[in-house]
Chain A
Amino acid sequence: MARQATKKTAKAPAKRATAAKTTRAKKAPAKAAKSNLVVSDEVAIDITNMDKWYGDFHVLKGIDLKVMKGERIVVCGPSGSGKSTMIRCINRLEEHQSGRIEVDGIELTNDLKKIDEIRREVGMVFQHFNLFPHLTILENCTLAPIWVRKMPKAEAEEVAMEYLTKVRIPEQANKYPGQLSGGQQQRVAIARSLCMSPRIMLFDEPTSALDPEMIKEVLDVMVDLAETGMTMIVVTHEMGFARQVANRVIFMDEGQIIEQNEPETFFTKPKHERTKLFLSQILH
């Protein structure tokens, strides 16, 4: 069963790459020849010259990042490099102090309505799952569709069961989060985000808090999700996942983007010294 899943997912990126190449060939032949950076010409997230400080501490320095619709980006880097802070700025869990962030064409400002609008479209999966322990799995999944999207309860439950089936735990629907294993909880968290039918998914170290045996079940779900064409930004140190799924890998250090490239080149021919050092530390 597990082997099958790997096989299936291993094939998928190759297929996608050829598909992407053909579409790109028509639109922008000159650029496309260099890399498979461009998946669509629609911009999903546009960050320009963004800075953030925690008090006096300059955490993010002049971040520029343009994410196209359907792109799957893996962000890596040493701890404290600002990876999480950067993706948390995208749905305003952290406030940036200067520069510009545009998500789905909406600029992030202090306007609470716009922030809520963006949060409805951007799903987020956290390191510690952040499930609501007082609600059942099903209630966790239907809460936001019912209260934010004003979906009728029956419909919300139907949608929730559909996504719980996709993450392969429909039978846990009436349990509480505390009764599930870490891997199962994280899959519920993914399903919960998907129930809001987001256009963009952010993953903040989704497998870092899991036992080794459970990492794969979560990554498998994420691979499935990538195959649906979801725009994803994933902060992770799972380099296998990056190779398999990402079409761009970003390396950050000291609050800056140090290097970015398509995974193959990134892992085999890193250019910046810091990247080389980092990769040599984590790829034994």
Chain B
Amino acid sequence: MSNSTLSFVRTTMEVAKAPPASTVGVVGWMRKNLFSSWINTALTLFAIYLVWIIVPPILDFTIFNATWTADDREGCLAGGHGACWAYVEAKFGQFIYGRYPVEERWRVNIVFAIMAIGTVTLAIPSVPYKKWNAIFMLVIFPILAFFLLVGGYFGLHHVETPLWGGLLVTLVVAITGIVVSLPLGVLFALGRRSEMPVVRMVSIIFIEFWRGVPLITVLFMASVMLPLFLPEGVTFDKLMRVLIGVALFSAAYMAEVVRGGLQAIGKGQYEGAQALGLPYWKTMNLIILPQALKLVIPGIVNTFIGLFKDTTLVLIVGLFDLLGAIQLSFTDPKWSTPMTSHTGYVFAAFGFFIFCFSMSRYSIFMENRLHTGHKR
């Protein structure tokens, strides 16, 4: 007897069996995720109740009670208390281009089209010629866009920036901020970790200064105070000043995000690279930054999204971005109804959401794509 309990030798190997039916499939999933305990069941029912009280009114407002076609406010007033989409349709040009002259809007369209094609092809990993595409988008496209949008050369009619507005301003401010802030932020992050005292001090002062003041202050300073300091006769385009302000402001935030990533990279990576004889910039470009930036993709995109939405603040210095253009249109008596502003804000929210949500999804896609197994 004692022999049989102490010694055991397996003679046949067990065969893998299928799991019990109640743990797999839809039923298994619901049991596990929705009704695993009485608290979970209560929460599930509560959530269903919330959906039931919130979703139908939203659908009523945006779809079922909405007025889709009307010539002016009368049509929307007759339609009841739903959204007045006819107004959005009538004002759509203004939302997109601001007061950009109608006969010149094709220039904006070309810029939008090139930007969309360039960005999409750059974003899809399998499209070839990434290097040339990147050079085009980062060097040639901004110059091209500048001449197309501003005009005054090659027989193009000059369009002053105060006429720009709507989505055009939002995109110009946001994209300039995004494109300038990332490389600048990386430089300041590296600078803050530098062993050279002057470089480190300059980086710290820059970062702390721009992080220490609110964006509204930066915008006010840029548009109201700066002209006071400049010599008489010297003027600087207001949009340009705002662009510089926004870019530097977000660069400071970006620097801290990137620094967080740099700190997560172990000393061993630096030593591994150094021991192979890689000099500083090559170590950074080939070893440290690819890993650090990958780690902080969520933080970087977070800053981008924040920046994108912060562009709405340019309203206070008299520039009309997408939200500004929409608010401006509320004053038009032709479309003034109780539902106009609601409709406008829903549309604004929808517009911003599309851009921000795309950025968010793309960042998740990149995170998964760049994931290379467990990290030591």
Contact between chains at A119 and B374 (CB < 8 Å):
no
Contact between chains at B282 and A147 (CB < 8 Å):
yes
Contact between chains at B374 and A178 (CB < 8 Å):
yes
Mask, A154-185, CB within 8 Å of B = 1, is 00000000000000000000001111000000
Contact between chains at B275 and A123 (CB < 8 Å):
yes
Question: Pick the contact of B268 from A91, A126, A143 — CB < 8 Å?
Answer: A126
B271 at the interface (CB under 8 A from A): yes
B376 at the interface (CB under 8 A from A): yes
A105 at the interface (CB under 8 A from B): no
Query: With the chains together, A196 CA to B271 CA distance in Å?
Result: 16
B-side interface mostly? helix
Residues of B within 8 A of A176 (CB): 372-373
Question: Pick the contact of A120 from B268, B277, B290, B291 — CB < 8 Å?
Answer: B277
Contact between chains at B272 and A133 (CB < 8 Å):
no
B22 at the interface (CB under 8 A from A): no
Given A143-B286, A147-B278, A196-B277, does the pair A130, B272 have CB atoms closer than 8 Å?
yes
Given A93-B274, A148-B277, does the pair A129, B373 have CB atoms closer than 8 Å?
no
Mask, A191-217, CB within 8 Å of B = 1, is 011001000000000000000000000
- A197 to B: closest C-beta gap in Å: 12
Residues of B within 8 A of A123 (CB): 275
A74 at the interface (CB under 8 A from B): no
Given A130-B269, A147-B282, does the pair A119, B276 have CB atoms closer than 8 Å?
yes
Q: State which size class the interface on B falls in.
A: 20 to 34
- B294 to A: closest C-beta gap in Å: 7
Chain B residue with the shortest CB-CB distance to A118: B277
Residues of B within 8 A of A196 (CB): 276-277
Mask, B169-194, CB within 8 Å of A = 1, is 00000000000000000000000000
Contact between chains at A178 and B275 (CB < 8 Å):
no
- B374 to A: closest C-beta gap in Å: 4
B63 at the interface (CB under 8 A from A): no
In this complex, the member of A91, A93, A133, A179 whose beta carbon has the largest number of chain B beta carbons within 10 angstroms is: A133
> Could you list some 18 contacts between A and B, CB below 8 A?
A93-B274, A93-B275, A119-B274, A119-B276, A119-B277, A124-B275, A126-B268, A132-B272, A132-B287, A134-B290, A144-B278, A147-B282, A147-B286, A178-B373, A178-B374, A178-B375, A178-B376, A196-B277
Chain A positions near chain B (C-beta within 8 angstroms): 91, 93, 112, 116-117, 119-120, 122-124, 126, 128-134, 143-144, 147-148, 176-179, 192-193, 196
Chain B positions near chain A (C-beta within 8 angstroms): 268-269, 271-279, 282, 286-287, 290-291, 294, 370, 372-376
Pick the 10 closest A-B CB pairs, nearest first. Answer: A178-B373, A130-B272, A144-B276, A119-B277, A124-B275, A120-B277, A178-B374, A130-B268, A176-B372, A148-B277
